[in-house]
Structure 1
């Protein structure tokens, strides 16, 4: 057997590397979730949220499940540790948090010059890690439908997961993956707010700051930035369909993306309107008390 043949056998294909990265991260996320929600460690979780110690109530199980989902979310967004099996030659990039990774994608001249087709080791790993998170998210939304937030969050997971899995499978749209990932910039504050509410710190002087910082960031990334992403994406796809029909995304696929973006935009507006109503209600109650 020739040296070239041995080298070809030793190096996995890009599809295989991506598949391994997705599978290893889904396993990693599920392991964290199980350790928190159903392992003996759950007793420590109960002590954080309940003064009387471990609980066996339905509400306690729901709180543990929600806490596990948020810990996995924090790991995904800020403490990413990728499997060395996925792409050993790129392992130094595996330890970048997801937001710097997305920003690095957006600042890459080569990716920016060809947002539909350009790839590099950083963008490949970003797409794989994010696709894996949304696979986990979809599974959890089905298993814990009510605890995870019901149909709106399941729809969010299905649409986001489908888009990132499409990018992972085709090795396209990776620049736009970085643009979309910035939508999650407000999520850590959402998790912090939940933690403060569940741990009875809602009367803290920091709570209003967290509330308004979350609303402001959500508005900027999901109400202002998101439509800019839609416009840039469909302009690029439309131009590619006109100039390079032989390689361009099919009309059917681009229409699916259009429907997904409409649903995501509607969900973002719905969630933001709920925040505004809640903030208005708190302000009204404060003035009424005075």
Structure 2
């Protein structure tokens, strides 16, 4: 393994020292800067999430029911309301982010639609995407929701101190979304099983032809 030139090492140390000075003398010099950046990031995340829910809801209603049935409307309305409440009141921050984590499955769902529309149901990409959806859904929309209810149970003494509307949201929104997630998870399992069965039949057909 070739040794790193001394000049390069000194340059790296110089950049490192400059970065440390920047953080120490500017970013951390003001005690409000770290908190402002964190709060700003949280607010930006919620604003983006809120924009996504309502823009997607608008498209769903505009093309109803081509892009989704009433369950999608309910999902987006409840999610958007919960995010907006958390953003404007500061309550239920943790539970809001737990629910938002479940949206990590959204890109895979969209990819499935694109692959289906492109006529690639027989492709390996479609199968892999289906497996990823199954695993992601199980973790982010089933197990995580179960843990969230357990967390609410452990900290019920704090949850009960919330405003009445927030208290209702903490129990109502995850419960409704949890039911929808289980319904969709059942469809995902059936769809994945159907895809695997078809793939086995296609493989047998190819083997018989050869």
The normalised TM-score by structure 2 is 0.70
Q: Which residue of the partner structure matches residue 255 of structure 1?
A: 168
Q: 1:201, CA displacement in angstroms?
A: 2.1
2:74 & 2:144 partners in 1: Cα distance?
Answer: 20
Q: 1:280, CA displacement in angstroms?
A: 2.2
Q: How does 1:268-287 map to 2 (within 5 A)?
A: 268-287=181-200
Q: How does 1:1-290 map to 2 (within 5 A)?
A: 120-233=39-152, 235-236=154-155, 238-240=156-158, 248-287=161-200, 290=204
Aligned residues: 167
> Which residues of structure 1 form unaligned runs of 5+?
1-109, 111-118, 243-247
1:159 & 1:123 partners in 2: Cα distance?
Answer: 20
Q: Residues 131 and 274 from structure 1, CA distance in 2 versus in 1: closer, same or farther, beyond 3 angstroms?
A: same
1:284 & 1:229 partners in 2: Cα distance?
Answer: 35
Q: Which residue of the partner structure matches residue 59 of structure 1?
A: none
Decide which structure has greater helix share: 2
Q: Residues 286 and 142 from structure 1, CA distance in 2 versus in 1: closer, same or farther, beyond 3 angstroms?
A: closer
After superposition, the CA RMSD in angstroms is: 2.3
The answer as to whether partners of 2:92 and 2:166 remain within 8 angstroms in 1 is no
Q: Residues 184 and 195 from structure 1, CA distance in 2 versus in 1: closer, same or farther, beyond 3 angstroms?
A: same
Q: Which residue of the partner structure matches residue 14 of structure 2?
A: none
1:273 & 1:207 partners in 2: Cα distance?
Answer: 18
Q: 1:222, CA displacement in angstroms?
A: 0.5
The answer as to whether partners of 1:123 and 1:175 remain within 8 angstroms in 2 is no
The normalised TM-score by structure 1 is 0.52
Q: Which residue of the partner structure matches residue 38 of structure 1?
A: none
Q: Residues 175 and 261 from structure 1, CA distance in 2 versus in 1: closer, same or farther, beyond 3 angstroms?
A: closer
Q: 1:170, CA displacement in angstroms?
A: 1.1
Q: 1:208, CA displacement in angstroms?
A: 1.1
Q: Residues 241 and 152 from structure 1, CA distance in 2 versus in 1: closer, same or farther, beyond 3 angstroms?
A: closer
Q: Residues 151 and 136 from structure 1, CA distance in 2 versus in 1: closer, same or farther, beyond 3 angstroms?
A: same
